[in-house]
Amino acid sequence: MKTVYDFTVKDRKKNEVSLAAYSGKVLLIVNTATGCGFTPHYEPLEEMYRDFRDRGFEILDFPCNQFANQAPGDEDEIHSFCTLKFGADFPQFAKIDVNGDLADPLFAFLAAEKPFAGFGKGLKNAALNKFADMNNKKYGEKAYIKWNFTKFLIDREGRVVARFEPTEDMKAVRSAVEAIL
């Protein structure tokens, strides 16, 4: 059975990193952007990281510019922004695509394990769904991720146990992380 530990990604300096290095840890893998309405998620993410990293928790941050060009900077600019504005201290990786023919294989795997199930109810969520569908139409069946700040929770064995859309309350994400720590 394939797990996230079978993947290799690039860190923000473009060095290859085997995710097997995170074996035995609980992971939250997130595609992020610096100019998105969900960018403030960095704050509760960093809080979770500070509170739980000593218990074997890691957040893996993958910037992506595929959603309305909301992560236009290079890796150093993005890292500086996240560090200065939010104090983000968790591992940040190279900017990637999460949809289309050039989608990072890790995100294709994550989305296959936990497919999109909706943004939830309400007008704001319906509006985001419509906007995301227009944005992702060009990727067809390779539109794996609907928007920035989609989060995948990985257990200590490298299995994908949950997917949280950006509209999910961050308290629910925190509770789910804490429950498997």
Residues 80-129 have pLDDT tens digits of 887 888 889 999 999 999 999 999 999 999 999 999 999 988 888 888 88
**Confidence at residue 82, expressed as pLDDT on a 0 to 100 scale:** 79
Any idea of the CA torsion for 177, 26, 53, 87, to the nearest 10 degrees? Answer: -70
User: In the chain, what is the straight-line distance between the N-terminal and C-terminal CA atoms, in Å?
Assistant: 22
> pTM of the full predicted structure?
0.94
**Confidence at residue 167, expressed as pLDDT on a 0 to 100 scale:** 94
Homologous superfamily (CATH) of 4-180 is: Glutaredoxin (3.40.30.10)
For residues 71 and 35, the answer to whether their CB atoms sit within 8 Å is yes
Residues 49-76 have pLDDT tens digits of 999 999 999 999 999 999 988 888 888 8
**Confidence at residue 75, expressed as pLDDT on a 0 to 100 scale:** 81
Task: Compute CA distances 3 → 18, 39, 109, 146, 150, whole Å.
Answer: 12, 28, 9, 22, 19
For residues 106 and 126, the answer to whether their CB atoms sit within 8 Å is no
**Confidence at residue 84, expressed as pLDDT on a 0 to 100 scale:** 80
The set of catalytic residues is 36
| Confidence band for 37, pLDDT divided at 50, 70 and 90 | confident
For residues 88 and 61, the answer to whether their CB atoms sit within 8 Å is yes
What does DSSP assign to residue 6?
G
Q: What are phi and psi of 135, to 5 degrees?
A: -65, -40
Q: Give, in degrees to the nearest 5, the angle at Cα 90 between 147 and 139.
A: 20
**Confidence at residue 35, expressed as pLDDT on a 0 to 100 scale:** 84
| Confidence band for 11, pLDDT divided at 50, 70 and 90 | very high
